[in-house]
Amino acid sequence: MSIAIFASGSGSNFEVLADQSRRQWPKEVSLLICDRPGAGVLERAERLGIPTVTLVPKNYENKAKYEEAILSTLQEYGIEWILLAGYMRLIGPTLLQAYPWRILNIHPSLLPAFQGKDAIQKALEYGVRWTGVTVHWIDEGVDTGPIVDQKPVLVEPDDTLETLTKKVQFVEHNLYPNTVYKLLTGRIPDHPSVSRSSG
Ligand code: GAR
């Protein structure tokens, strides 16, 4: 049993997660699901020798059919956990029901502030002094699931989108793999409904 990462973009989080899983975790990242042909993350996966499956939503009749195709791929690979890493789509009921409290996400703000897309830009525009990074469970909303861990990032007066993105991503690359490691090894508690059903 192992872990799949879902990603749409450049894949810097994918790479640190995959790398840490090999070094430290009791389960490895063994599959990349990508929804965007040509995304940078695909090259990273190839370099690391991790199998990739690219499934494009517009090739399916509806979201349920799209997620059924993902689900059968996940079952084929024996996937137990899903980590979203810059996967820019809402997870629907098909995957939520198949993986209850087994889907995590990284979001580039201190939730519940700045949910949705362009969170770093929104934080800059709002003029907050602190923003940060959140790892949370996925539920049916947009960045609304229970928070697992967070880390702050200071916004300095001369920060631009570029400099703040660098700082936020630096923190993401540390927080996300560490949080997953702690969850997988029981160093931080599992989601309460999973603990109850297994205990
Ligand atoms: C990351 O900063 C991640 O937090 C963000 O996309 C970026 C992906 O970068 N995700 C969201 O905004 C989700 N709402 P990466 O492809 O280099 O890992």
Q: Where does the pLDDT of residue 196 fall: very low under 50, low under 70, confident under 90, or very high at 90 and above? A: confident
Decide if pLDDT at 198 tops 80: no
- 166-177 pLDDT, tens digit per residue, is 999 999 999 999
Is 107 a catalytic site residue? yes
For the chain, the average pLDDT equals 96
Residues 175, 85: Cα–Cα separation, whole Å:
12
Residue minimizing CA distance to atom 6 of ligand 1: 86
Spatial CA neighbour of 134 closest among 168, 113, 109, 101 = 109
CATH no., domain 1-100: 3.40.50.170
Q: Is 117 among the annotated ligand-binding positions?
A: no
Strands of the sheet with 52-54, listed across from one edge: 52-54, 29-34, 2-7, 79-84, 103-107, 130-137, 147-154
Is the distance from CB of 151 to CB of 108 less than 8 angstroms?
Answer: no
**Would you call 33 helix, strand, or coil by DSSP?**
strand
- 28-44 pLDDT, tens digit per residue, is 999 999 999 999 999 99
On whether the 105-186 domain is CATH 1.10.10.60, my answer is: no
Ligand 1 probe mutation, 6, 10, 107, most atoms within 8 A of CB: 107
Q: Which residues contact 189 (CB under 8 A, 6 or more apart)?
A: 195
Residue 62's pLDDT is what?
Answer: 97
Nearest-Å Rg of the Cα atoms of the chain is: 16
Percent pLDDT > 70 in the chain is 98
Residue 149's pLDDT is what?
Answer: 98
Decide if pLDDT at 135 tops 70: yes
Is the distance from CB of 137 to CB of 148 less than 8 angstroms?
Answer: yes
Decide if pLDDT at 199 tops 60: no
> Phi-psi category of 11—alpha, beta or left, where left has phi over 0 and alpha has psi -120 to 50?
left
Range 104-133 average pLDDT:
98
Tell me whether the CATH fold assigned to 1-100 matches the one assigned to 105-186.
Answer: yes
Q: Are strands 79-84 and 52-54 parallel, antiparallel or unpaired?
A: unpaired
Domain spans of the chain?
1-100, 105-186
106 C-alpha to center of ligand 1: Å?
A: 7
Q: Where does the pLDDT of residue 182 fall: very low under 50, low under 70, confident under 90, or very high at 90 and above? A: very high
Which member of 107, 136, 173, 191 is catalytic? 107
Decide if pLDDT at 1 tops 80: no
Q: Does residue 131's CB lie within 6 angstroms of at least one atom of ligand 1?
A: no
Residue 73's pLDDT is what?
Answer: 98
Ligand 1, residue 105: give the atom nearest the CA: 13
pTM reported for the whole predicted model = 0.97
